[in-house]
Amino acid sequence: MTRISALLLATLMAFPAISNSTATPPIGQLIYLPAKPVAPADFMAVPVAMTENGKVFMQWMFVPAQALANLPAASITPPALMPALPMTVAPAAPAAATPKPAANSTHARSMTATCNACHGTDGKSHTAIPPLAGLDKAYFVQQMQDFKSGKREATVMHQHAKGYTDEEFQQMADFFAAIKP
């Protein structure tokens, strides 16, 4: 690890107890952890509180994932610090469970649309990446489960499949099965 990232790691490790206080955070304190890093080799851009001329600023810092791996997932939410910071940050939504979309909503259409960038609009691929339009439902669900479990080897699909639930595999399967290839 380079000298500077070691220093940053040490700084972040010095403030393990992150609280929801509205007091001005000390210099170098990680005040908001946007997301857990997913790969050890990754870096993450995180906002860190810095002070200059008596004012608290948020400064983007590039931090190795290892530095964040041991920090608690919950951290200071931006609104608690808003009185002290000039940064415009969206107010956090009320702390409720992430809502489940209705089964008959256009959630399936929106969710499967992310597949289209590789598999073609409506799953109609014209490239080396296989099409999804018209695939048998049970087959589709089985493949996604096998990607997720590692039973079916893949270069990239395991990394996608692990991001979805079994229920979502069913919704995707229903959606693509209904499209005439």
Partner 1 sequence: MSMQRRDFLKASAIGLAAGGLSSRAHANAAKAKVVIIGAGFGGATAAKYIRKWDPSIDVTLIDREAKFVSCPLSNLVLAGLKTLDDISRTYDGLKSHGVNVVVDEVTAIDTDKRVVKTTQGNFPYDRLILSPGIDFRFDQIEGYDAKAQETILHAWKAGPQTLKLRQQVESMPDGGLIVIGMPLAPYRCPPGPYERVCLIANYLKRAKPKSKIIMLDANPDVASKKALFMKAWGTLYKDWVEYRPNSKVLKVDANNMTVSTEFEDFKANVINVIPPQRAGQVAELAGVRTDSNGVWCPASFVTYESRAKANVHVIGDSVLSNYPKSGHMANNMGKVCANAIVEILNGRDPNPVPILANTCYSAVSEDKAIHVATVFRYEAAKDQMTAQPGGGVSADLSEVEAVYAEAWAEGIWNDTFM
Instruction: Pick from 5, 24, 142, 145 the residue near partner 1 by CB under 8 A.
Output: 5
CA distances (Å), origin 45, targets 38, 67, 125, 148: 13, 12, 35, 28
As measured in angstroms, the least distance from the Cβ of 87 to partner 1 is 4
Q: Does 172 bind partner 1 (CB under 8 A)?
A: no
Tokens of 115: 């597949």
Q: Report which secondary-structure segment, H or E, holds 142.
A: helix 137-149
Nearest 5°: the CA angle 49, 53, 55 is: 45
- CA–CA separation, 29 and 58 (whole Å): 10
Q: Is the CB of 126 or the CB of 180 nearer to partner 1?
A: 126
E strand map for 25-117:
43-52, 55-64
Q: Does 105 bind partner 1 (CB under 8 A)?
A: yes
Binding mask 42-81 for partner 1 (x = CB under 8 A): xxxxx----------xx-x-x-x------------x----
As measured in angstroms, the least distance from the Cβ of 111 to partner 1 is 6
Q: Does 87 bind partner 1 (CB under 8 A)?
A: yes
Q: How many CA atoms lie within 13 A of 115 on its CB side?
A: 27
Contacts of 106 (CB under 8 A, 6+ apart): none
Instruction: Pick from 70, 83, 93, 180 the residue near partner 1 by CB under 8 A.
Output: 93
Residues engaged in binding partner 1 (CB under 8 A): 1-2, 4-5, 8, 34-39, 41-46, 57-58, 60, 62, 64, 77, 85-93, 95-101, 105-107, 109-111, 113-121, 125-129, 148, 155-156, 158-164
